[in-house]
C-alpha cells in the first residue's frame, strides 16, 4: 500500500479513530533508544567532570532562559 493510499484510508476513519492512530504513530517515534541514552549520559558525565575540574565554565540559569 502506498503512502497516499494509506492516508486516504486513514481519512475515512472517524475523528476519534484518527486521533488514536496519530497518537500511536507519535508514540512510536518517541520510544527510548538505549544507545542514545548511553551516549547522552556519558556526555553529561564528561561535562560535569570538566565543570568540577574548572575546565568548563557554567552559565547562570537566568542567562540561559533570558528572553531577548
Q: Domain check: are 27 and 59 in the same one?
A: no
Domain holding 5, by residue range, is 1-31
Who has greater pLDDT, 32 or 9? 9
* Distance (Å, whole) CA 20 – CA 60: 42
Q: Can you give the pTM of this predicted structure?
A: 0.50
Structurally, how many domains does the chain consist of?
Answer: 2
Same domain, 44 and 68: yes
Question: Do 48 and 22 reside in the same domain of the chain?
Answer: no
Instruction: Tell me how far CA of residue 61 lies from CA of 2, 36, 43, 52, 67, in angstroms.
Output: 48, 26, 20, 17, 12
| 10-68 pLDDT per residue, tens | 999 999 999 999 999 998 887 788 898 999 999 999 999 999 999 999 999 999 999 87
Our measurement of the distance from residue 26's CA atom to the centroid of its chain's CA atoms, rounded to an integer in Å, reads 11
Q: What is the pLDDT at residue 24?
A: 93
DSSP string, 21-57: HHHHHHHHHT---HHHHHHHHHHHHHHHHHHHTTSS-
Amino acid at each position: 500500500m502506498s503512502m497516499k493510499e494509506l492516508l486516504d484510508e486513514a481519512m475515512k476513519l472517524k475523528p476519534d479513530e484518527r486521533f488514536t492512530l496519530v497518537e500511536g504513530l507519535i508514540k512510536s517515534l518517541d520510544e527510548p533508544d538505549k544507545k542514545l541514552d548511553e551516549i547522552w549520559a556519558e556526555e553529561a558525565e564528561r561535562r560535569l567532570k570538566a565543570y568540577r575540574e574548572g575546565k568548563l565554565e557554567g552559565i547562570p540559569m537566568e542567562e540561559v532562559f533570558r528572553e531577548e
